[in-house]
């Protein structure tokens, strides 16, 4: 599996010298790992999304939703879900790949909800709510796990390909003991595309 991300692992064990010890040393080591790939792909907004203000950002408007229209993930209340379509366009290096998998990195975004780790934590004034993702089968995804949104790569020319990633986002009650409170409920969720 090729990844389009490059990871930096700092596995340094740096000891602190004793105070006043002129000959103290600090030793450590950086272990840098990563993967380079020759596939060149862009991800753009399809239906239900729009381009953000910065490169790589994709905006999704979840709308103005009433607490009475949402429930816990187990209640499967998805009537207010916002469908999201992302368009993958590979211009080079795609000939040896058949599929793309989108995985989410919630902990590097607004985080996992404190009361329900399957949901994305929201920022803003609203309380008692998180943001859930639904896969293409309208099933709630566990954002703390390793679930992915998968799509086949469709060949375009000799070395290019395209794909459509379809899923949805919906507000969900997080089950916290705190009362629900209206207000903005925003979040951001980084993702990585892996090609196989």
Per-residue pLDDT of the chain (196 residues; tens, 9 = 90+): 444 333 333 233 333 344 455 667 778 888 887 777 888 999 999 988 898 888 888 999 999 999 999 999 888 889 999 999 999 999 999 999 999 999 999 999 999 999 999 999 999 899 999 999 999 999 999 999 999 999 999 999 889 999 999 999 999 999 877 788 899 999 999 999 999 9
Reported pTM: 0.80
Instruction: Round to whole Å and give the CA distance between 138 and 2.
Output: 28
Is residue 19 assigned to a domain?
Answer: no
Distance from the Cα of residue 41 to its chain's centroid:
17
Number of H helices, E strands in the chain: 0, 11
Grouping H, G, I as helix, E, B as strand and the rest as coil, residue 121 is coil
- Number of structural domains (the chain) is 1
Instruction: Round to whole Å and give the CA distance between 122 and 47.
Output: 23
Q: Are 171 and 65 in contact (CB under 8 A)?
A: yes
Is residue 8 assigned to a domain?
Answer: no
Cα Rg of the chain (Å, integer): 21
Give the residue from 182, 193, 170 showing the smallest Cα distance to 120. 170
Is residue 7 assigned to a domain?
Answer: no
Looking at residue 15, its pLDDT comes to 38
What residues make up the domain containing 112? 40-195
Looking at residue 22, its pLDDT comes to 60
Looking at residue 66, its pLDDT comes to 93
Looking at residue 14, its pLDDT comes to 34
Grouping H, G, I as helix, E, B as strand and the rest as coil, residue 146 is coil
Is residue 18 assigned to a domain?
Answer: no
Distance from the Cα of residue 13 to its chain's centroid:
30
Looking at residue 23, its pLDDT comes to 63
Looking at residue 16, its pLDDT comes to 39
Instruction: Round to whole Å and give the CA distance between 16 and 97.
Output: 48
Here the CATH number for the domain that contains residue 47 is 2.60.40.1090
């Amino acid at each position: 599996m090729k990844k389009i991300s490059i990871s930096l692992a700092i596995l340094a064990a740096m000891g602190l010298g004793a105070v006043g010890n002129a000959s103290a040393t600090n030793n450590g080591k950086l272990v840098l790992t990563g993967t380079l790939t020759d596939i060149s792909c862009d991800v753009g907004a399809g239906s239900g999304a729009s381009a953000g203000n910065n490169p790589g950002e994709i905006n999704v408007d979840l709308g103005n939703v009433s607490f009475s229209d949402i429930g816990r993930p187990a209640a499967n209340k998805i009537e207010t879900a916002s469908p999201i379509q992302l368009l993958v366009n590979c211009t080079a290096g795609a000939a040896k790949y058949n599929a793309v998998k989108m995985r989410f990195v919630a902990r590097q975004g607004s985080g996992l909800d404190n009361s329900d780790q399957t949901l994305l934590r929201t920022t803003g004034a609203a309380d008692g709510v998180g943001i859930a993702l639904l896969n293409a089968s309208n099933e709630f995804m566990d954002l703390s796990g390793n679930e992915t949104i998968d799509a086949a790569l469709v060949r375009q020319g000799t070395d290019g390909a395209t794909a459509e990633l379809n899923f949805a986002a919906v507000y969900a009650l997080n089950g916290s003991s705190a009362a629900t409170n209206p207000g903005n409920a925003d979040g951001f969720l980084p993702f990585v595309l892996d090609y196989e």
